[in-house]
Amino acid sequence: MSVEFRKDLFADERDDNLNEIGKPTRRQDILGHVTGRSPFYDDHLFEGLLHVRCVRSPHHHARIRSIDTSEAERMPGVVKVIRASDVPNNFNTLLSLLNFGRDDEPLISDKKVAYIGEPVLAIVADTDRQARDAVAAVRVDYQVLPHVLDVEDALKPDAPVVNETYPNNTFDYHDKYDHQKLRFGDVETAFSQADKIIEGRYQMSPIEQAPIETNGAIAAPETNDRFVCYTSTQALFFSLGTTAKLLNVSSNRLHFIGGTVGGGFGGKVDSLVEPMAILACMLTGKPCRFVWDRPEEMQVGAPRGAERWYLKDGVMNDGRIIARKFTGYFDAGAYTRLSSYAIIKGTAHLPGPYTIPNVSSDVFCVYTNRTPATAMRGFGVTGVDFAIESQMDRVAQAVGMHPVELRIVNAYRDGDMKAHRREAKNCALIECAQVAAEKASWPIRDEFKRMSSLHGGGGERARIPYTVTDENGRIGERRSGGVAPRPTTVLPPATPAPPPPAVAPTPTAQPDYAHPAAAPPYTPLSPAPLGPPPATPQPSPPLTKEPAEPPARQANRPGYSRFASNSGFRRR
Amino acid sequence: MTKKPIQFKLNGADKAVFVDEGQNLLDVLRRGVGDLSPKYGCAQGTCGACTVLVDGEPYLSCLVLAQTMEGRQISTTAGLVVDGGVDPLQEAFMENFAAQCGFCTPGMLMAAKALLDRNPKPSREEVIEAISGNICRCTGYEPIINAILDAAGRGVGRRSA
Amino acid sequence: MSISVKTFDSAAEAARALIGDRTARFMGGGTLIMRDINEGEQSFSTILLAKDQALKQIHARGEQIVIGAGVTMAEILSSRELDFLHPAARSVGGPAIRNMATVGGNLFAAHPYGDLATALLTVDASLVLAGGEQGMPLADLLREREREPRPVVMSLTVTRPQQRAFRFKKVSRVKPKGVSLMTIAANLPQQAGRISGARIAYGSMGAAPMRVPAVEQALEGKTLDETGIAQAVTVATSGVEPPTDAIASTWYRHEVAPVHLKRLLLERAS
């Protein structure tokens, strides 16, 4: 494979004495891979290995009246039935290791199930087939409950409560809001001054990581009262900590061995298999193997969550975007897992790699009766990037501009202020766009070829504008019939079938260049700031009264901290 | 549960093992005789990670009823290593970055070997067809295709045919 | 239930055992039954195998060709007699699956599988059952294939299509191989440049592969050009109720069926 180096770009910022890039190299683990000797978790043989299988919910949402295991217990090869009551500390949230969010998910659910495939019981047997046969013989009496599968339906006041820890069907942000806010400047005033308003609705479906090796773990007793666990995990210490918490054991009794993972892509961080395998091992005293089969990997394995985004842009005829407003809905599925964090990450990414002087965003982490969502390759950012770039094409079409030129004129330049109040550095989008246009033989005009990330930034563009804040969307407000979240403007309802929701039309191949684009800088749209700008995008005006419905809330443990959207974790 | 005794050759060596009725060949290879090179990816016939050669032809060991393998010759990736050295096909995979996580690799190697043994100078399209039943989720198929073509250039098929 | 395996010398014996045992399944190449076993399917616990060499036969009598139900996709591909079925056999799985999957199994492969069966529908396939019954049209079997006890198919007889009359297309989203979102087989014999006795079959467009009479009638007496096929394209999904599955929705299949049908019909005969 040949690599082309563009040494003309940023030449004085870079040492081109590269000794690895562009040169072929051998993976250090390749010999094991091609000889079939790389030790994946399932490549460990134990005498007397037992097999664990789960009884899983066939319903989106149901209360469990009773579980009858009498027939299963009598079946050949069955060694142990593992019930919810066998899990020492059967309530967890993945990010509790970082003190972010409240416990909301059992390892085994025997009261209520909130998605298809949720485990309600586990069976340990001599062989995989015997465990499967016993699972099939378990009788669970379900009282089916109404379910909700759409993020916006889940936010309606009468929607079924998916997850009792979050009775409003939204994750609680900063102990205060039912969504994550970003405020920068004054979008509403800017909209009123824009030449055009362009709106779009974008959504993407859940995506299964589908590693070829399914999630699984083998646990065995060790000497000194320890347990060894061979695991597929992508996050060894995360899984170890989660297991220690769920099983209420000291982490130094857990000996985790991983690192050889048969594909992960984010789908092997949820730490569901390790605690189950070790629990089975603790209860039987024997080595136990808990491996998802392919249908489980596809149905139960947490995917990249679905997202829906509404974007509203205020645009000048020369292509400058002067205001951008987002309303986003992340489909967390039934439990939080990592979705709450994905939203923090996504919000820090807004409004995309563009210098837009007025930005506003409300993003909701919504619980629905779908498979819980988790990490996958850039999660939190990829979905909204799809929305942003589709919207950019739509804007280009609306103002009759070359889509690449539109991006160049709006791109971050060195020294610009980002909406999350960090200075843009080492920008290169303009140069990337220029090279891409050249490689695609899609010519841009000379003035755009001359633009540079190094020049024209900073100054007025480095200013943090006067920012309008609000306290809409306090926890519980919507549920009690208050403000319903919705995109600022009512869009025409989606037509029933054929319903892939509206995506951006293909940009015209021959753009109309009626409006020559001027180079920045921007003229500020609002008067000079009235005071010092807020330090974070999180508006924190003095509280004049308690929220209408103060949520019952307490920290899980001492040292509870919260997430600040601009800088990650902040202890308090 | 009844156990059936069966005998077959694995990478040239005689094996005798008791299998459960209904047990698949993949399980018998891995847990019965301890050859861990074929992998479990789906047990549905969709991923190809368990591909082995039976009398020189590629089979999905997860869908083979083990007891029908009486007297057959089975080859796996573990058998490609001879005298402690790697086979030129393995060498080509190593040099062309044809593996990332490595989980599909043993199946890919067996699918490639089946092709090259039958057709020492395959076209690119024939290579693509030969691995069309094997899924890779990391590397992408280009390096794998390049590795197989590279191996063909090294005369892998001629040597082992 | 643990699995037990019974092996018979003749398919007829296996067929008799099947009638008396609702927990039994007859296994051909294993690509369907073994998957069920691996996933713990509880509806059967006995596998019946037959070592009958008649299941492996391929022989031609004039334009009629008898294909044993145990013939694999790979064996079709190495048979010169069955060259017209090569595109259909090659569309099934990768090489490993084709070494295992049989003609008989393909007749019972649930949606979205059954690409070979789709092709067979257009070459007048009729069945010989292990119980001795002869001449059952394949379409009849496909309509009732879920009904227990399932018959054991011994062989099929097909009629070789006219030179260059047979066409086959499996449409999938993944290249080069993926699950079918629509499979089309067409047998378009011509007399004096006009289609006579057209047979069109779809796979993955219903519960089982099916003939499409509306399209066949619309092609009768027509020429194979844009004008000649226009009516057939407009009735492409007439009487067809395609399913929604993980690959495509009912709506999508309705929308694209005319496009793919048109492409196949206008394809230059090779």
pLDDT of residue C14: 95
CB A304 within 8 A of CB A265: no
Neighbour count for residue A156 (Cβ, 10 Å): 14
Contact between A326 and A384 (Cβ < 8 Å): yes
Are residues B8 and B64 located together in one domain of the fold?
yes
Q: How far is B70 from chain A (nearest CA, A)?
A: 23
* Higher per-residue pLDDT: B23 or C177: B23
Task: Kindly give the confidence (pLDDT) of every residue in chain A, 572 residues in length, as a single tens digit, with 9 standing for 90 and above.
Answer: 567 888 888 888 877 787 887 777 889 999 999 999 999 999 999 999 999 999 999 999 999 999 999 999 999 999 999 999 999 999 999 999 889 999 999 999 999 999 999 999 999 999 999 999 999 999 999 999 999 999 999 999 999 999 999 999 999 999 999 999 999 999 999 999 999 999 999 999 999 999 999 999 999 999 999 999 999 999 999 999 999 999 999 999 999 999 999 999 999 999 999 999 999 999 999 999 999 999 999 999 999 999 999 999 999 999 999 999 999 999 999 999 999 999 999 999 999 999 999 999 999 999 999 999 999 999 999 999 999 999 999 999 999 999 999 999 999 999 999 999 999 999 999 999 999 999 999 999 999 999 999 999 999 999 999 999 999 999 999 888 766 555 544 444 444 434 333 444 444 444 333 333 344 444 544 444 444 444 444 443 333 343 344 334 343 333 333 333 333 333 33
pLDDT single digits (tens) B117-140: 999 999 999 999 999 999 999 988
Say how many C-beta atoms besides its own lie within 10 A of residue C148's C-beta. Answer: 8
Give me the numbers of helices (H) and strands (E) for chain C, helices first please: 11, 14
According to the model, what pLDDT value does residue B157 have? 67
Q: Measured between alpha carbons, how far is C128 from C39 in angstroms, rounded to an integer?
A: 32
CB contact under 8 A, B132 and C177: yes
How far apart are the CA of B14 and the nearest CA of chain C, in angstroms? Answer: 24
Residue B23's domain spans which residues? 3-79
pLDDT at A2: 67
Give the Cα separation of A154 and A168 in Å (integer). 9
DSSP string, A544-565: -S--SSPPP---SSTT--EEET
**CATH number for the domain harbouring residue B145:** 1.10.150.120
Question: What DSSP letter does each residue of A327-355 carry, written as one string?
Answer: EEEEEEETS-TTHHHHHHHHHHHTT-SB-
pLDDT at A1: 52
Question: Which residue of chain C has the CA closest to A72?
Answer: C1
What is residue C175's predicted lDDT score, i.e. its pLDDT? 85
The CB density around residue A79, as the number of other CB atoms within 10 Å, is 20
Chain B residue with CA closest to C1: the answer is B1
Smallest CA–CA separation between B148 and chain C, in Å? 16
Chains linked to C by 3 or more Cβ pairs within 8 Å: A, B
CA distance A127 to chain B (A): 10
Nearest chain A residue (CA) to C254: A498
Q: Are A129 and C252 inside 8 Å of each other by CB?
A: no
Residue A255: partners with Cβ closer than 8 Å, 6 or more residues away: A222, A226, A227, A228, A229
Q: What is the DSSP letter of C40?
A: T
Among the partner-chain residues C2, C34, C94, the one whose CB lies closest to the CB of B63 is C34
Interchain CB contact of C249 with A (< 8 Å): yes
Nearest CB neighbour to A34, from listed B47, B105, B135: B105
Amino acid at B79: G
For the stretch C13-41, pLDDT in tens is 999 999 889 999 999 999 999 999 999 99
Nearest to A326 by CA among A422, A409, A202: A202
According to the model, what pLDDT value does residue B160 have? 47
Inter-residue contact A472 to A486 (CB < 8 Å)? no
pLDDT at B85 over 90: no
From the list A130, A293, A497, the residue facing C39 with the nearest CB is A293
Q: Do residues B61 and B101 share a domain?
A: no
Least confident range from B82-96, B107-121, C59-73: namely: B82-96
pLDDT digits 0-9 by tens, C109-167:
999 999 999 999 999 999 999 988 999 999 999 999 988 888 999 999 999 999 999 99
What sign does the dihedral A498-A500-A504-A507 (CA atoms) show? Answer: negative
Q: Using the 3D structure, point to which of B43, B62, B79 is the last residue of a domain.
A: B79
Residues near A168 by beta carbon (within 8 Å), at least 6 away in sequence = A178, A475, A476, A478, A479
> Residue A382: how many CA atoms within 13 Å on its side-chain side?
12
The listed CATH number (1.10.340.30, 2.60.40.3080, 3.30.365.10, 3.40.50.300) that belongs to domain A153-206+305-408+474-570: 3.30.365.10
Residue of A425, A432, A188 whose CA lies nearest to A324: A188
- Whether B94 and B136 share a structural domain: yes
- Give the chain A residue nearest B146 (alpha carbons): A1
Neighboring chain C residues of B43 at a CB cutoff of 8 Å = 35, 38-39
A261 → chain B, closest CA residue: B101
Q: Does B5 touch chain C (CB under 8 A)?
A: no
- Look up residue B97 and give its amino acid: F
Q: How is residue A194 written in tokens?
A: 């824009």
Among the partner-chain residues B22, B65, B133, the one whose CB lies closest to the CB of C95 is B133
Task: Classify strands C210-211 and C199-203 as parallel, antiparallel or unpaired.
Answer: antiparallel
Q: What amino acid is encoded at A28 in this protein?
A: Q
Residue C217 CA, distance from chain mean position? 22
**In this model, does residue C72 exceed pLDDT 60?**
yes
The encoded tokens of residue A445 equal 């005009």
Domain segments of chain A as ranges:
50-145+210-299, 153-206+305-408+474-570
Answer whether residue C217 shows pLDDT above 50: yes
Domain closes at, from B79, B113, B141:
B79
Instruction: Tally the C-alpha atoms within 13 A of residue A241's C-alpha that lie toward its C-beta.
Output: 13
- Record: contact C5-B63, CB cut-off 8 A: no
Residue for token pair 């609002």: A526
Same domain, B8 and B67: yes
ipTM, interface predicted TM-score of the complex: 0.96
CATH number at residue B40: 3.10.20.30
C56 DSSP 8-state letter:
G
- Note whether C44 contacts A: Cβ–Cβ < 8 A: no
The topology (CATH level 3) of A50-145+210-299 is: Aldehyde Oxidoreductase; domain 3 (3.90.1170)
- DSSP states of C228-245: HHHHHHHTTTTT--PPP-
Look at A30 and B99 and tell me if their CB atoms are within 8 Å.
yes
pLDDT value for A530:
42
Q: Compute the Cα dihedral for A483, A487, A490, A496 and give only its sign.
A: negative
Q: Is A147 left (phi over 0), alpha (psi -120 to 50) or beta?
A: beta
Tokens 């289609």 belong to residue: C195
Phi then psi dihedrals of residue A286, to 5 deg: -120, 160
Instruction: List the CATH code of the domain at C4-50.
Output: 3.30.43
Within this chain, do residues B99 and B146 fall inside the same structural domain, yes or no? Answer: yes
> In chain B, what residues touch A134 (CB-CB under 8 Å)?
none
Where are the domains positioned within chain C?
Answer: 4-50, 53-159, 166-266
Distance from CA of C209 to the nearest CA of A (A): 25
Phi-psi region of A128 (alpha: psi -120 to 50; beta: other; left: phi over 0): alpha
**CA C20/CA C152 separation, integer angstroms:** 13
Q: Give, for C96, the enclosing helix (H) or strand (E).
A: helix C95-100
- C117 and C138 in contact (C-beta within 8 Å)? yes
* Chains contacting chain A through 3 or more C-beta pairs under 8 A: B, C
Q: Please tell me whether residues B71 and B90 are part of one structural domain.
A: no
Mean pLDDT of B79-102: 92
- Band of the pLDDT at C270, cuts 50, 70, 90? very low
Distance between CA A3 and CA A18 in Å, rounded?
13
Query: What is the second-level CATH architecture of the domain C53-159?
Result: 2-Layer Sandwich (3.30)
Say yes or no: domain C166-266 is CATH 3.30.1490.20: no
Cis, peptide link before residue C149, omega less than 30° from 0: yes
CA A209 to chain centre: 13
B122 and B52 share a domain?
no
Boundary-marking domain end, from B46, B62, B79: B79
Q: What's chain C's average pLDDT? A: 95
Rounded to an integer, what distance in angstroms lies between the CA atom of residue A21 and that of residue A393?
A: 33
> Which residues of chain C have a CB within 8 Å of the CB of A132?
39-40
User: Looking at the structure, do residues B11 and B62 belong to the same domain, yes or no?
Assistant: yes
